[in-house]
Amino acid sequence: MDCDYHITIRDINRFCQIVENEEIHLDDNDAISVRLWVAKLQQGGTAAFLKDRQDPSPQGSNIANDTFLLCVQTEFQRVRFQALGSDFLSIDATHNTTQYTGVQLYTLIVRDLWGHGTLCGVFPLTDTDTYF
């Protein structure tokens, strides 16, 4: 009866799924889940901006109307960016690294006085012909 006393991989996977459902996957519909997640981040003090493919683009932004854009910057990232962003800013872009086809992921990184990088923002963007 060792199973009465030891945790198994199956138990861990079940707990991970419970946490994911409570913290990340907030609704079965991805569009609703993302909106709920952004609202939750904003309530916690994180700077988050969401432009869904159905939302109109901000006036003067030159962002295509069918673009999905999500910008996330935590308080720590904002403070580090303000403190270090004037010396060095690196923008890294990846493509198709998620389960969603056509999504680019941009990250902003600044370097401290010792040359170490600090992540200062994350921005997924869908492929379009117009970028900001």
pLDDT value at 2 more than 60: no
pLDDT band at 130 (very low <50, low <70, confident <90, very high): very low
The pLDDT tens digits of the residues spanning 55-108 come to 888 888 888 888 888 888 888 888 888 888 767 778 887 766 666 677 778 888
pLDDT for 43 equals: 92
pLDDT band at 5 (very low <50, low <70, confident <90, very high): low
Round to whole Å and give the CA distance between 55 and 103: 17
pLDDT for 82 equals: 84
pLDDT for 13 equals: 75
pLDDT for 132 equals: 35
Looking at every residue in the chain, the average pLDDT score rounds to 77
Q: Mark out the alpha helices in 26-132 (DSSP H runs).
A: 30-43, 75-84
Q: Mark out the alpha helices in 24-120 (DSSP H runs).
A: 30-43, 75-84
Q: Answer whether 108's CB lies under 8 Å from 91's CB.
A: yes
pLDDT value at 131 more than 50: no
Domain boundaries, the chain: 45-126
Round to whole Å and give the CA distance between 16 and 30: 19
User: DSSP 3-state assignment of 15?
Assistant: helix
Round to whole Å and give the CA distance between 24 and 17: 10
